[in-house]
Amino acid sequence: MKTRDADRLALILLLTPFVMWIGLLIVLPHAGVVLLSLREKVAPRMFEYGLGNYIAFLKEPIYLNTLMRTAVMSLLVTALALLVAFPVAFYIAKVARARSRAALLLLCLVPLWVSDLVRAFGWIVLLRETGIVSSALQALGLAAGPVELLYNDATVVVGLVYTVVLFMIVPLVSTLDGMDDSLIEAGFNLGGSRLTVLRRIVVPYAMPGIVSGSIIVFMLTAGSYLTPVLLGGKTSMWFTEQIYDQFITRFNWESGAAFGVSLLVFTSLVVWIGLRLTGQQLATTVARR
């Protein structure tokens, strides 16, 4: 009996920090946000509970359009990140020698050593009308006058892909790393072309990595703030910007909270649809390498 009690105590001690972390930093704030989002202001310092904030959100086309825009662009970023990351991950996991592998992964990590803000300013310095790329194009005679590469959606997408691509590479490398090279060789040996081997063997094998990478990248992108705000143009609205505006410039925490919850629900829905379409389950993608 004594040992069982001791075991239980050890388990409780082990779990406590984890539960506290989850509880204090994840569950409690989210519960707070949900509660906040259900409060409607009726007069200064007077609130009633109701769905008014959500109704207001659904009634305003600007908010819905921004949410859809954010979702579509995030999906685009996810797809591009996958296209960019797959060959890189394949190279790191399957082609590069074991010794250079760590170095290559580290190299992918380098951009994360500087903050979001600095990275965004890096892009600004590069792409602005009087920036490095524009000047170089002019010096090479490829452009007649200054070229403005900043302030449009394409720049936002490029900047976001750059920011999130590592989060695609890492899960892909770890799944591909676990793949026996002989599977690929067997694929060729049995008569498959490069495309067949890629399509029927490598990609299906890497699917858990693809799905978990895509989930991470999609969530990160949809929730990113600085990059779309700083690189975006006159009409580049990002949904997080709306949330920020509600909270900070309009002091409307209730509505901001409703926006936040809506974003969470909507992105979760997109992920769920994605999982259904690819026939994956969250448990298998996260648990399996």
Least distance (Å) between residue 103 CB and other proteins: 22
The total number of residues shown for the chain amounts to 289
| Secondary structure of residue 13 in the 3-state scheme | helix
CB nearer other proteins, residue 70 or residue 214: 70
CB under 8 Å to 288, separation ≥6 — which residues? 208
CB nearer other proteins, residue 19 or residue 190: 190
Least distance (Å) between residue 20 CB and other proteins: 13
Least distance (Å) between residue 50 CB and other proteins: 18
Least distance (Å) between residue 10 CB and other proteins: 29
Element (H, E) at 200: none
Whole-number Cα distances in Å, 112 to 84, 105, 107, 125, 203: 17, 12, 10, 18, 27
CB nearer other proteins, residue 38 or residue 222: 222
Least distance (Å) between residue 260 CB and other proteins: 4
Strands 39-43 and 46-49: antiparallel
> E strands of 129-237, at which residues?
none
CB nearer other proteins, residue 84 or residue 146: 146
The torsion angles phi and psi of 46, rounded to 5 degrees, stand at -120, 130
Phi-psi region of 279 (alpha: psi -120 to 50; beta: other; left: phi over 0): left
CB nearer other proteins, residue 56 or residue 84: 56
Least distance (Å) between residue 8 CB and other proteins: 31
CB nearer other proteins, residue 65 or residue 115: 65
Whether 58 contacts 285, CB under 8 Å? no
Least distance (Å) between residue 9 CB and other proteins: 28
For other proteins, the binding residues (CB under 8 A) are: 24-25, 29, 32-33, 44-45, 62, 65-66, 124, 128-130, 146, 148, 150-151, 180, 182-183, 185-193, 196, 200-201, 204-205, 207, 222-225, 229-230, 233-235, 237, 240, 242-253, 256-257, 260, 263-264, 267
Whole-number Cα distances in Å, 234 to 43, 151, 183, 263: 35, 7, 50, 22
Instruction: Estimate to the nearest angstrom the gap between the alpha carbon of 66 and the chain centroid.
Output: 17
CB nearer other proteins, residue 107 or residue 183: 183
